[in-house]
A and B are shown apart, each in its own frame.
Chain A
Amino acid sequence: MPSESKFEGKNLSRTFGSGKKLVHAVDNVSFSIEDRQIVSVVGQSGCGKTVLAKMLLRLETPTGGELLFNGKPIARAVDPREHWRQVQAVFQDPFSAFNQFFTIRAQLKSSFNLFTQKPSDKEMEDRVDQALLAVNIKPKEIEGKYPFELSGGQMQRMLLARIFILRPQVLIADEPTSMVDACSRASILDYLMKLKQELDMTIVFVTHDIGLAYYVSDAIFIMHKGKIVEQGSPDQVTQSPTSEITKQLLDDIPDVHKNWIDRAAAQ
């Protein structure tokens, strides 16, 4: 049985500006993101990976080509909230994603506003509690607290708790670990795996670190200058890369067991 594809891009493009200043942020890419997989989009800053993620989230409109979600084109006419019930995101900076003037709990609860029919107050409270426990935070710990009272790692987990509450089909994680330290990063990755296993979610993981991508994903797309230059399974991409870009990315990661910068040569 061929596996179903969640997202399908056909010659998808997004350009900004016009005339001489025309920029091809995403340039004629075709891809397929399978259901219940973790797919990583890897590339340097400015390669177009965030624009691609925004198109999947319906925050940017493609300027060319077609983007299918569950086999149907994402139509502009439909209420975007319809799309967001199924596709949700976790961003790089959790502090800019939460309002500083409301308690975290109130904001988590308000995410139920996305649904046309809200559950009862009791059920909403219960689901918030469950979601907090799912990311290893005791509901008491954040009782009455505001976003600035928590650390970056804790706030990033709050964003993930929101995903546990909303239970979308697809999660777009755009550099969720680039602002947290190495120890919290391991736990954030754990929760992403948990989301996939427990809620059968499809996850699109956007990152510049191919090492991270290798850990979590079922498939890796390498992007460069708006194009997908290589795609394949993590082992295939990291062990026998065919594209120069991939080799460069692998080479640039400081790794404990490999030579990284030859200092004698620099002298």
Chain B
Amino acid sequence: MSAPIFEVDNLRAHYLTRFGQKIQAVDGVTFSLKAGEILGIAGESGCGKTTLVSACMGLYIPPLHLSSGDVKIDGKSIIGMSVEANRQQVLARQIAMIPQGALNSLNPTRKIKDLATDMILSHDERTDKKSVHDRLRQRFEKLGVPKPDEVLNSYPVQLSAGIKQRVVIGISTLLDPRVVIADEPTSALDVSTQKAVIKLLFELMDQNIIGSMLFITHELPLLRHVSSRIAVMYAGEFVEMGTTEQVIFDSRQPYTKALMGSMLSAEPGQKNKKPVAIEGAPPNLAYAITGCRFAERCPQVKPDCKELQQVIRIVAGREVRCKYAE
């Protein structure tokens, strides 16, 4: 067993509003990643997935604040640095992010090569323009981006969505980070481009360019193929975490089960099986919640669910946050 690359220990993060309201967006998240591992995080909009990304990168820009917990890369904590120190020492070199709106994350007024140079120089002052270009060209060649020179000299508007996403991935991972967090990297792409982008991410893992990956999405069928383990997030907490097989084909937590029920697939005999939407909305995290956070919407709710604080327990070999799961 190799030592974990990335460890997140009981991480809690909150937003502080102008009116002094505290919104606990990430609450008690614990997980670790080993070399070559991809952990998928699933959950509906507003469950705290994106906040978890900032929290994991040690990037606490107000109104986001750290409540408690620790994040370690290769055993070294990245928590408690100033934003500036974090940017120079941690971001891009140790942990990098592939953003959701990759199409909007490229500056339309600058050529790809200029933008990339700016970005890399802000994280690594020792390099120069020329070497960044060379490295980027080599990386694009390695990753099979067509016509790397032409791409480097283009403006974002001249590139298709799929190429733009590949360019963003190329720039994000140029400094060979240990951990990559992909936040819905394919949600704006069509299915065929999505497949190409996922292949590219696999390529990066297989060539040992990146150590491990956190893959965030709400597309469960996609996670089935991408990740080896899946964590399901609800209202800031992990409610179930196990291997992909366990979570998708044999889920135990009521929320995970409900998520599986809302899945669609084009298979014979599935046409009349209607996907089931989960009624209601997640709780407002501005107020302290006692008991299970899913109790309001849970089809299998028991009388004491609303009072009892739910803790992680092991059920059938995976972590589940539900007293009645079996």
Contact = CB atoms under 8 A, between A and B. Distances in A.
Interface residues of B, number: 46
Interface string A212-227: 1011000000000000
A103 interface: no
B263 A182 contact: yes
B230 to A, nearest CB: 12
B193 interface: yes
Interface in A122-163: 151-153
B264 A152 contact: no
Interface string B258-282: 1100111111101100111110010
B221 interface: yes
A6 to B, nearest CB: 23
Q: Which of B162, B249, B263, B266 has the most CB of A within 10 A?
A: B266
B2 interface: no
Q: By DSSP majority rule, is chain A's interface helix, strand, loop, or mixed?
A: helix
A117 B277 CA distance: 38
Nearest to A179: B187
B300 interface: no
Interface stretch (B8-16, B50-58, B119-127, B197-205): B197-205
A51 B202 CA distance: 35
A256 interface: yes
A252 B202 contact: no
Contact of B267 (A152, A190, A257, A263): A257
Given A214-B271, A253-B221, A238 B266 contact: yes
Contacts of A184: 44-45, 277
A105 interface: no
B271 A189 contact: no
Contacts of A256: 220-221, 224, 248-249, 263, 265
Contacts of A211: 264-266
21 contacts: A44-B191, A44-B192, A45-B162, A151-B46, A152-B45, A182-B44, A183-B44, A183-B258, A183-B278, A189-B275, A209-B191, A210-B191, A215-B275, A234-B271, A235-B268, A249-B191, A252-B191, A252-B194, A253-B265, A253-B266, A256-B265
B147 interface: no
A58 interface: no
